[in-house]
Amino acid sequence: MELIDRYISAVAQALPQSRRDEITRELRANILDKLEAIAEEQGRDASEEEVSAVLKELGHPQKVAGSFLTGQQLVSTELFPFYKQALHYGLILVFILALIQFGVHFLNSGDLRIANFIYEIIGKALVMFASVTGVFYLLSNPVGGKPYFDPYQCWAPEKLPPVTRGWQRISACEQSVDFASDLFFLLLLNYALWIPSGQLANLTIAFAEPVLQWIPILSAILIASLFFGLWKLIYRYWTIPSLLVEAAINVAIAIPLLLVSRLSPIVIDTSSANEHLEILKIGNGVISTGLFWVGIWLIFMAGWSLYRAWQLSR
């Protein structure tokens, strides 16, 4: 019996506290039934070797414990939708951080290091994925077996969104691109407000004077767009009012971008040696072309939002 007690104890160590007594009682009864069948067949009590053979047939204690915990998984089915959302928001954060780092490097050196930008995104994304997965593993397999919280306890049918068309649900890609780009451009336009003064003094790239006049206007529009982006993160479906707001914001951003794209230069070399002149000629051409086509795209998307609003109104 000592061997059985040791086996049951080993199994119990791999079980959550809330189910430990129930499972060990069931397991002990199963073992004793097997030993009783051996005793009836042999006409005597099972020997120590026969007890060991029965326990070996059942399997390693951790394997046996796992067979009673079929619901255990890396992320539970119940929490998996929240896990995907957390990864989605984490990727937005990673993209923003990588963009900020890329922008600061460009302002410091005038060098567009695209490969390094991609490397930073991949590295940060892997760290974020491991961190989020670890948190959701703990939430899916709580110590003691009792869930830390019920994510669906406040659910009610009345809270379901009024979605009648497939495209009304705002996709994760759409949310990520809009929110990340708005925050990145807001921080880039106002880099003088958040970069440390010591590092700011060493910057060798700056916006040209005509561009500086547009920064307060663009910043105000981007802040409004960010608040609207937060609203879209909570209410992830399109309505007629939200489509009209989306169209207005896109037009409000597009017009300044199209006007700034016509300015020359957009960024200038502030170093005493003017060491980045050749690079900035190429950089200004790329930035100007990019701003122009972004503006055209935003005009198109504004029209698309108005068309969708018209569809919902029918």
Shortest CA distance to 60 belongs to which of 13, 2, 1?
13
Residue 137 has pLDDT above 80, yes or no: yes
Mean pLDDT of 4-21: 78
Share of the chain above pLDDT 90, in %: 18
Q: Is the pLDDT of residue 255 over 90?
A: yes
How much is the average pLDDT of 121-131?
88
**Which range scores top for mean pLDDT: 74-83, 205-214, 270-279?**
205-214
pLDDT of residue 254: 94
17-42 and 2-13 helices cross at what angle (nearest 10)? 150
Question: For the residues 284-294, what does the mean pLDDT come to?
Answer: 89
Q: How confident is the model at residue 275 (pLDDT cuts 50, 70, 90)?
A: low
Q: Please report the pLDDT score of residue 76 as a whole number.
A: 73
Spacing of C-alpha 245 from chain mean position: 26
Residues 231-251: tens digit of each pLDDT: 887 787 888 999 999 999 999
Q: Give me the chain's average pLDDT, please.
A: 80
pLDDT tier at 55 (50, 70, 90 boundaries)?
confident
User: Do the beta carbons of residue 221 and residue 252 sit within 8 Å?
Assistant: yes
**Length of the chain measured in residues:** 314
Q: Taking a C-beta distance cutoff of 8 angstroms, is the pair 105, 200 a contact?
A: no
* pLDDT beyond 80 at 109: no
Predicted confidence at residue 231, as pLDDT, reads 87
pLDDT tens, residue by residue, 186-234: 887 887 777 777 777 777 777 888 888 999 999 999 999 999 988 887 7
pLDDT for 151: 66
Can you give the pLDDT at residue 157?
A: 57
* Mean of pLDDT values over 149-160: 61
Mean pLDDT of 106-116: 66
Q: Which residues of 196-229 are buried (b: 16+ CB within 10 A; e: fewer)?
A: eeeeeeebbbbbeeebeebbeebeebbebbeebb
- The pLDDT-based confidence of 19 (bands split at 50, 70, 90) is confident
Residue 110 confidence class, pLDDT cut points 50, 70, 90: low
pLDDT level of residue 70 (50, 70, 90 thresholds): low
Give the residue from 120, 26, 51, 132 showing the smallest Cα distance to 85: 132
